[in-house]
Amino acid sequence: MEMTLLELRKYAIDRRIEIRFGAASAGRECLINNKGQAQIPGEMKDFRVEEAFDAADKFVIISAEGARHLTREAMAKAIDEAWEKKGAGQPAEEED
């Protein structure tokens, strides 16, 4: 189950949440706000959001209920389940 940066941005907009990801220990953390805008907080900005997204294995969802820590697989599953509930899931593969 793969997810794209665009899907992550749409998920943040639909859920009105913020999502943090990247390697905070290396100063390569990114934030997607509730408007779907990708930001690089802090001083170090010598990397691309896409690079941090591709390398991220931990995601933090920040909402009114607090923070939820998810693995990459759990984040992809949450996005997939959200699309299925909206009726916009991936089209089922046809059998021959």
- How many C-beta atoms surround the C-beta of residue 18 within 10 A? 17
pLDDT at 32 over 90: yes
Mean pLDDT across the stretch 16-38? 87
Residue 95 lies inside a defined structural domain of this protein? no
Q: What is the DSSP string of 3-51?
A: --HHHHHHHHHHHT-EEEEEEGGGTEEEEE-TTS-EE--SS---S-HHH
- How many C-beta atoms surround the C-beta of residue 9 within 10 A? 17
Q: What is the pLDDT of residues 33-80, one digit of tens each?
A: 999 999 888 777 788 888 889 889 899 999 999 999 999 999 999 999
Residue 73 lies inside a defined structural domain of this protein? yes
Where in the sequence is the domain holding 73, given as residue range(s)? 5-85
What's the structural domain count of the chain? 1
Residue 46 lies inside a defined structural domain of this protein? yes
Residue 29 lies inside a defined structural domain of this protein? yes
